[in-house]
Amino acid sequence: MTDIKEIYKSLHIDDDVYEYALKNLDSLKERFLRIDETAEFNQLKVLKAFQECRVSDACFQGSSGYGYNDLGRDTLENVYSKVFKTEDALVRPQITCGTHALNVALSSNLRPGDELLSPVGKPYDTLEEVIGIRESCGSLKEYGVSYRQVDLKADGSFDYDGIRRSINDNTKLVTIQRSKGYQTRPTLSVDGIGELISFIKGIKSDVICMVDNCYGEFVERTEPSEAGADMIVGSLIKNPGGGLAPVGGYIAGKKECVEKAAYRLTSPGLGKEVGASLSVTGSFYQGLFMAPTVVSSALKAAIFASSMLKELGFSVYPEPDTLRHDIIQAVTLGSAEGVISFCKGIQYAAPVDSHVTPEPWAMPGYDSDVIMAAGAFVSGSSIELSADGPIKEPYAVYFQGGLTFPHAKYGVMRAIQQLKNDGIIDSSALTV
C-alpha cells in the first residue's frame, strides 16, 4: 500500500473526510510558513543557550542520593535561564506537574497576611484548591494568605480600573495565567502580559508578578520573563519537555524568587544543592532541544482543527486566522455527547491505547466529571496529541498537542470522522 489516501482509508477515514481535510489544509499554507519561521528562531535560541553553557555528554549521566554536585542538573538550569533570559531557574523531576510548580512558586513567595491577586479572572480549576477558593487541606487560605481577583472585561481586555482598586498594601504577588484553561477567554500575548505587568508595577513596584506559562512556551519569539515577569512557571510534560521529558517542571525568574522556591521544594538550608536527577537528565536536555519544532507541530494542529470545525458550524476559540499565543484550541460542541465523541476520535488516533474508549470521570482537582483522551508515551503529557473537557456547560472540548503534524493531522480527521459516525455531524456538511 503506497497511496496515501488508501492508508488513510485503512485507518478508518472516509473519502469525504479526507477530501474535506485537504481543502482546509490548502488554505493554511501561509499560516504554517509563519509558524515555521518562529520555530526556526526559537530553535536557534535554544541551540545558542546549549552552546554557551557548554553542554557535554557528561551532563546526561544523572545522579542519585542527595544529588550533590550534579553537573547535568546545574547546567540544565543555566540553559533554562539563558533561554528564558532570567537570573536563575529551578528545573527538577521532583516537581510533579504544572499545578505543583505553581504551588511551590506561590507558597514559597507568600507569607501569612499577604494577599494574592489574579487580574485575569478565575485561575485554572486545579489552582482553586491550592489558593483556597475551594476548601482543601494545605491551601494558601489555611496559611493566612488572602485572595482577590479581577475579572476580564466582556471583550477579554484587562479591567485596569478594577485592578488599580484591588491592589493594596497587602498585595504581595500577582498571578497571571497566560493560557485560557477551561474558559473561552483570550490567551494572553507576551506583549499584553508586559503591558499588564508595567501597569501593576507602576502602582506597586515591589509586587511579585508571576506568569503561569503552561502551553505558551516557544509559541512566540519571546517569553513573559522578557516582558517584566519576576517568575514564569511551567510543566515539562507540556511545551518545554518536547514530548521526551517523562516528568518535571520549572520555575525561572529572579534569583530571590527562585531561591525561595528551591527552599520550599526541598528544605530550608538545602535548596538547590540537593535533588537527584536519576536517569532523566538526558531526556530533559533533548526534549528542550526538540521543543520549538514540536510546539510548531502542535500550533499547526490547533489551527487545522479550528479551520475544520468552524466550517462545520461549531464555535471555535481561537478562530483559524487569529494570532496564537498558546497551543490550545477550544471547540464548543454544545452537548456532552459531542464532547465525548470528539475525545473518542482523538483516542482512537493515538499510538498508545488506541483500542481504549475514554469516559468521563471524577478527576481529582475538578468540580465536575472530566473526559480526557490521550494515548501518550508519557502519562498525562499534553504536548502529545490530546483532548479533554469538563462535562458541563457550554460543553467545550480543549484540543492540544501533537509531536508531529502528520499524526496531529490524522487525529483531527479521526475526531471529525467520529463526530460523523456518532451522528453529531451529517456527511452533507463535509461536501467540498
Q: How many domains would you assign to the chain?
A: 2
Percent of the chain with pLDDT over 70: 99
Residue pLDDT, tens place only, 268-294 = 999 999 999 999 999 999 999 999 999
Cβ-based neighbours of 133, under 8 Å, separated by 6 or more: 122, 127, 147
Is a pLDDT exceeding 90 seen at residue 266? yes
Q: What is the pLDDT of residue 429?
A: 83
Please calculate the CA angle 351-356-358 and round it to the nearest 5 degrees.
110
Say if residue 126 is in the same domain as residue 88. Answer: yes
Say if residue 128 is in the same domain as residue 255. Answer: yes
* Amino acid occupying residue 103: N
Q: Does 54 reside within a domain? A: no
Say if residue 236 is in the same domain as residue 348. Answer: no
Is a pLDDT exceeding 70 seen at residue 87? yes
Residue holding cell 493566612? Answer: 144
Is a pLDDT exceeding 60 seen at residue 225? yes
* Amino acid occupying residue 21: A
Residue pLDDT, tens place only, 346-355 = 999 999 999 9
Contact 305, 329 (CB under 8 A): yes
Which residue range is the domain that position 336 belongs to?
4-42+289-430
Angle between helices 281-311 and 15-26 in degrees, nearest 10: 100
Give the CATH number of the domain where residue 381 resides.
3.90.1150.60
* Amino acid occupying residue 149: Q
Q: Does 331 reside within a domain? A: yes
Measure the CA–CA gap between 315 and 94, rounded to whole angstroms: 39
Measure the CA–CA gap between 278 and 29, rounded to whole angstroms: 43
Q: Does 325 reside within a domain? A: yes
Say if residue 147 is in the same domain as residue 256. Answer: yes
Measure the CA–CA gap between 193 and 224, rounded to whole angstroms: 7
Q: What is the pLDDT of residue 186?
A: 86
Measure the CA–CA gap between 43 and 38, rounded to whole angstroms: 8
Residue pLDDT, tens place only, 369-397 = 999 999 999 998 999 999 999 999 999 99
Report DSSP letters for 133-170, one per residue.
Answer: SS--TT-TGGGT-EEEE-PPPTTS---HHHHHHH--TT
pTM: 0.95
Q: What is the pLDDT of residue 34?
A: 97
- When mean pLDDT is compared across 43-57, 288-302, 322-336, 360-374, the lowest value belongs to 360-374
Q: Does 51 reside within a domain? A: no
Using only the alpha carbons of the chain, give its radius of gyration: 22
Say if residue 195 is in the same domain as residue 111. Answer: yes
Residue pLDDT, tens place only, 298-322 = 999 999 999 999 999 999 999 999 9
Q: Does 130 reside within a domain? A: yes
Q: Give the distance from CA 204 to its chain's centroid.
A: 29
Measure the CA–CA gap between 53 and 60, rounded to whole angstroms: 14
Q: Does 284 reside within a domain? A: no
Q: Does 320 reside within a domain? A: yes
Is a pLDDT exceeding 90 seen at residue 33? yes
Q: Give the distance from CA 203 to its chain's centroid.
A: 30
Phi, psi of 47 (to 5 degrees): -60, -45
Mark which of 261, 279, 297 sits at the end of a domain.
279
Q: How confident is residue 43, by pLDDT bands cut at 50, 70 and 90?
A: very high
Say if residue 177 is in the same domain as residue 67. Answer: yes
Cβ-based neighbours of 44, under 8 Å, separated by 6 or more: none
Phi, psi of 170 (to 5 degrees): -90, -10
Say if residue 31 is in the same domain as residue 159. Answer: no
Q: Does 402 reside within a domain? A: yes
Contact 115, 149 (CB under 8 A): no
Say if residue 226 is in the same domain as residue 372. Answer: no
Contact 157, 93 (CB under 8 A): no
Mark which of 279, 310, 326 sits at the end of a domain.
279
Measure the CA–CA gap between 188 and 179, rounded to whole angstroms: 7
Mark which of 251, 279, 307 sits at the end of a domain.
279
Say if residue 346 is in the same domain as residue 405. Answer: yes
Give the CATH number of the domain where residue 156 resides.
3.40.640.10
Strands 146-149 and 171-177: unpaired
Say if residue 67 is in the same domain as residue 190. Answer: yes
Say if residue 417 is in the same domain as residue 294. Answer: yes
Cβ-based neighbours of 361, under 8 Å, separated by 6 or more: 369, 370, 371
The span from the first CA to the last CA of the chain, in angstroms, equals 26
Contact 189, 227 (CB under 8 A): no
Is a pLDDT exceeding 70 seen at residue 76? yes
Question: What DSSP element (H or E) covers 92?
Answer: strand 88-92
Is a pLDDT exceeding 60 seen at residue 432? no
Say if residue 260 is in the same domain as residue 340. Answer: no
